[in-house]
Amino acid sequence: MSDTPPLSITTRKLNLWYAKFQALINVDVDIKHGIITSLIGPSGCGKTTLLRCFNRVNERYGYVTTTGEIKLLGKNIYDPDVSLIELRKSVGMVFQRPNPLPISVYENVVFGMKIHHERSQLTRAALDEAVEKALTETGLWKDLKDRLDHRATALQLEQQQKLCIARLLPLKPEIILMDEPCSALDVEGTRAIEELMFALKGRYTIVIVTHNMAQARRASDECIFMLLGELIEHSRTEDLFLKPRNPKTAEYIEGRYG
């Protein structure tokens, strides 16, 4: 019996255009369940565009055209019966700069639950339990349990970013996308988010875009190198950094460009 983890995300011949500019070119990728996968490459290489394909956020722009196939947990997300609301419940997203809502810590965590469930189904006890569980999973409960009514935007940046992750968890996502989640944080904040990623992997599939190659090397199990809209190499992180198969990968990680 194979020990290979099942796949969370697969793409086949994925192409994307912003108007006439082709940002992704025939991308085929297999991302395993329950691990941390980093997308790396120079600015403009397509890594954030690829990340945002996985929950179809790119389609918010009217000038985007996509062809090819993306399967999440075996289901093509472009099938006509796919609900974008349900897709974005199962594929949570964390952005570069923490973006908690300007309301209380408590209301931030239950915000998604209140949107996606009938109010009559949400008892105060159920909401309280969800808040405690999400804040415990993200390491915030001890610090914030007595400040649940405080405004979330007054928290430290590291706590704000953890809260943005906590906000996703009551919706029970399968996949968490992170677009440079540490770019606004200091060294300690970055370490805290990376430790949280380690704690969450296994239960969630995590895909992170990072410009920081040291972070990719520290924090990911597998790494994908992209260049000019193409997927150049995808392998175990250790292999990609120590024995890259493609000369372009070697040139990038050696700092010859990008």
CATH code for the domain of 238:
3.40.50.300
pLDDT at 5 over 70: no
Who's near 113: CB < 8 A, 6+ residues apart?
122, 127, 130, 170, 171
Q: What is the pLDDT of residue 42?
A: 95
Is residue 104 assigned to a domain?
no
What values do phi and psi take at 66, rounded to 5?
Answer: -125, 140
Is residue 16 assigned to a domain?
yes
pLDDT at 48 over 90: yes
Express each pLDDT in 96-154 by its tens digit. 999 999 999 999 999 998 887 777 678 999 999 999 999 999 999 999 999 999 999 99
Note down the domain range covering 62.
Answer: 7-97+174-253
Sheet holding 7-18, edge to edge: 21-32, 7-18, 64-72, 75-76
What values do phi and psi take at 229, rounded to 5?
Answer: 85, 0
Count up the domains in the chain and report the number. 1
Is residue 127 assigned to a domain?
no
Q: What is the pLDDT of residue 7?
A: 86
Express each pLDDT in 143-169 by its tens digit. 999 999 999 999 999 999 999 999 999
Express each pLDDT in 204-254 by its tens digit. 999 999 999 999 999 999 999 999 999 999 999 999 999 999 999 999 998
Is residue 155 assigned to a domain?
no
Is residue 73 assigned to a domain?
yes
